Structures are given as C-alpha cells and as structure tokens.
A and B are shown apart, each in its own frame.
Chain A
C-alpha cells in the first residue's frame, strides 16, 4: 500500500461516513480498480462496519424503570423553592430575621429559670420571695423574675412579676402600674413595651407624668 496515494484511504473513510464528493468518489473507484491491496482494505473496512452495525441491540433488564424511580430523590426538583428564594432575597431576609428574633424571644422566656429581681435598697429576700417590708418605701421600678413578690410597704414605681405571683398586704401601695406575666404573649408584649421604652425615652416620662 506504500505506493498508493494517501488521500485514497482518506476517501474510503469519507465514503463510509457518507460525506464524499462525486469527484473524489470517482478518483477512489479508479484507484480501486487498479490496486488490489486497496480494494481489499476497502472491503475489509466495509465488512467491519457492517459487522458492528449489525450487532444485536441489547435491552435494559426488566425493572430498570422502577429501579430509576426508586433512586430518584424523594423531594421534588430543587428548582421550585430554590429559584423562588433566589428571586426574593428581601422576603427571605425578613423571614430569617423574624424567625431568629422570635426564637430568641421564646427561648429567653423558656430558658430564664433563674430567680432574679431588681436590686433596690430596702428589699428583703426570703427564699424565692422578695419582700417589701411594711413601712419601707422602694423608689423606682421593681421587676421580679421566677419568684414571688410580697408587698407590705410602698413601691414608688412600676411593679412587674414574671413567672411568679404577687401578694399585696392591706398596707401595700404601688404608685405605678403593676402586672404579672405568665404566658408567652404577655411576655412578648412586655418585651416589646420595654424595648419601645428604651428606644423612646420620652414615652416613659410621659407615662410617669400621666400617672
């Protein structure tokens, strides 16, 4: 085959791929007529192709489709929610913010089991009960958490008892408002109010004036 022009082999393959021009095909055929070696190669190529094209098709085993279905991830395609999330970053951010804020609210309500109270002079502590002794005056707001409050004297300010009870003796006097907080909604409301008071100090002053 050494003496044969190289492009003839190229034409053979082009012929087999079905993209040979008429002129090239004529050149090839002319050569095949005179060259036995190339004719043999050409025939072998043709046979090889026929053999490989003719090989039996194989089919997927029964149960193949069920196998695929079983392997599919259970949740529907991630497209829906993830695409929506990507398109609405602000809603996502707001939702995350609310979620985190609310969990911190609730967890601070659920977890703060410790007994604590506002440090004020004149207060007496008996176990988990804070006592305002008779005849004494506590100036300023008083907050008791996870404990009881017994008032026998006078409180010059607001009184708040969180998760506890408030007992008032007949002599008790509270100049400000007083409340007991036991439920989550009260707690939320209380948090919001105290936050508002911190942010807008004026409201507190006004309130005091009103009372």
Chain B
C-alpha cells in the first residue's frame, strides 16, 4: 500500500493532479476522523481535514519519500487541529445566530470542555460520553490518546507524527489512560 501511495506521490510531483485525488480518497476517512475527534465538530473537522490535504498538496516537494506518507499527513492534520483549538474561533461571534437554525447561537456549538453536571454525563450515550471525556483531557494527552486508541496507531508512529521521543509518548499514553480511567470512574 505504501508503495502505491509513493507512486502516486511521484505522479503528483510530475504534475499529474488527478493522482492526488486517489491519495485523498485513500486517506479521507482516517484524516477526517482524527480531526473530528480532536475538534468535536463536524463542520470544523471537514474544513481542517480538507485544509490538511491542500497543505500536503502544496508542500508535497518537502515530503521525504523515504518515510511513511501517512505519518507526514497525520502530522499536518494534527498541527492544524491544535492551532485551531488554540485559536478557538476568534472569528466567530458567539451571539450570532447560526444560519438555517432557529435561534441557535454559537454558544451551543462550543465544545463542552468544561465539566458538565454528573447527571447530564450519566444520561449521555456511550459514544457521546467517550467523545466528551476525550475532549476533557489536557491537550498533550488528548492528541496521543486519539492517535493511539481511535486511530489504532503504534507508539513509534505516534512519536514520528508528533516528532517527540518514544519515551515521552509512552509516558503521555500512561497518564492519559490513567486520567480517562478516573474520569470514567463514575460509570
């Protein structure tokens, strides 16, 4: 598979834009999922995942073909997500009503990072609960937990994506896992 992707990369570098479409088709769901888990918002996830592909296309010549393409792509996407989370939408007015909705304003769209009342959490469906708990994790654990358990990546690959030592990744997986265990303790 990696070989096929690298072949497509070469074709794109030779000016064949259509070859890039195959790359997008191949990685779209994985990349979208990472963004969705990190941002907890479908529209933002789509925007950022698409932006990640565009950045990959524009900067394709900087990609080192001896390494895994998916690693490079994940790195672009996670960096974009982290940037977006840090900026936390300064370009939106929270009071503005969302077009196409009746009286729903931006306040209702903010990721529920702050703690909800216990009974609210208990009522959640499990998949919402999991997303909620992941979003409550501190930034540095969240990305790693998402890559490890939701994307099912190996620790070494996570270390490559985030450009940090394997030991650091391990420590953060441990801490993140422990934090999740305690958060889920009320189950």
Query: Chain B interface secondary structure, helix, strand, loop or mixed?
Result: helix
A65 in contact with B12 (CB, 8 Å): no
A49-57, A87-95, A167-175, A190-198: which lies at the B interface?
A49-57
Question: How many residues of A sit at the interface, in one of the four size bands?
Answer: 20 to 34
A72-B17, A72-B20 are contacts. A57–B33 as well, Cβ < 8 Å? yes
Which one of A73-81, A117-125, A201-209 is at the interface?
A: A73-81
Known: A59-B29, A64-B49. A13 touches B24 (CB 8 A): no
Q: Do the beta carbons of B46 and A67 come within 8 Å of each other?
A: yes
Cβ contact within 8 Å between A61 and B155: no
Q: How many A-B residue pairs have CB under 8 A?
A: 109
Q: What's the least CB distance linking B11 to chain A, in Å?
A: 11
Q: Which residues in window 116-169 of B have CB below 8 A to A?
A: 126-127, 130-131, 134, 145, 149-150, 152, 155
Closest to B18 in A: A69
**Interface status of A45 (Cβ within 8 A of chain B):** yes
Contacts of A62-119 to chain B: CB distance below 8 A? 64-65, 67-69, 71-73, 76-80, 83
Q: Is the pair A77, B49 in contact by a Cβ cutoff of 8 Å?
A: no
Pick out which of these stretches binds chain A: B55-63, B82-90, B94-102: B55-63
Q: A60 near B29 (CB under 8 angstroms)?
A: yes
Give chain B nearest CB distance to A202 CB in angstroms: 53
User: Known contacts A48-B177, A55-B130, A60-B28; is A68 also within 8 Å of B149 by CB?
Assistant: no
Within 8 A of B (CB), among A154-185: none
| B169-187 interface (Cβ within 8 A of A) | 170, 173-174, 177-178, 180-181, 184-185
20 further contact pairs, Cβ within 8 A, besides A79-B61, A80-B15: A41-B181, A44-B184, A47-B184, A51-B184, A52-B149, A55-B127, A55-B150, A56-B127, A59-B32, A60-B28, A60-B31, A61-B42, A61-B46, A71-B51, A71-B54, A72-B20, A72-B57, A73-B58, A77-B13, A77-B15
Closest 6 CB pairs of A and B: A60-B32, A52-B149, A13-B174, A60-B28, A68-B53, A76-B15
Q: Which residues of B are in contact with A by a Cβ distance under 8 Å? A: 12-13, 15, 17, 20-21, 24-25, 28-29, 31-33, 36-37, 42, 46, 49-51, 53-54, 57-58, 60-61, 126-127, 130-131, 134, 145, 149-150, 152, 155, 170, 173-174, 177-178, 180-181, 184-185
